Amino acid sequence: MKFTVYILESELDESFYIGYSSNLEQRMQYHNSGKSRYTSKKMPWKLVYSESFDSRTEALKREKFLKKQRNREFYKRLIISK
């Protein structure tokens, strides 16, 4: 099973959301359906970056690293570099 770390960008206010999932397509539907309390107020969301990992542990490490950055410019550079 593959795990994907992703960055979403709100089309409402251009804010970012970082997460991970084993089913990215299903997770995108979840975020854009208003079922997540963290993302429901800033819909719609678009996928702007993703990375795949072979293990959940690797994906969680990467997600945690990205969330710790808390730096808009860092995320923009990452997105552009893909």
Predicted local confidence at residue 82, as pLDDT: 80
Mind listing the pLDDT tens digit for each residue in 14-54? 999 999 999 999 999 999 999 999 999 999 999 999 999 99
DSSP secondary structure, 12-52, as one string: TT--EEEEEES-HHHHHHHHHTT--TTTGGG--EEEEEEEE
> What amino acid occupies position 49?
Y
What percent of the chain has a predicted confidence (pLDDT) above 90?
99
DSSP letter at 55 equals: S
pTM confidence score: 0.95
**CATH for 3-81 (1.10.1740.10, 1.10.260.40, 3.40.50.2300, 3.40.1440.10):** 3.40.1440.10
Would the pLDDT of 13 be above 90? yes
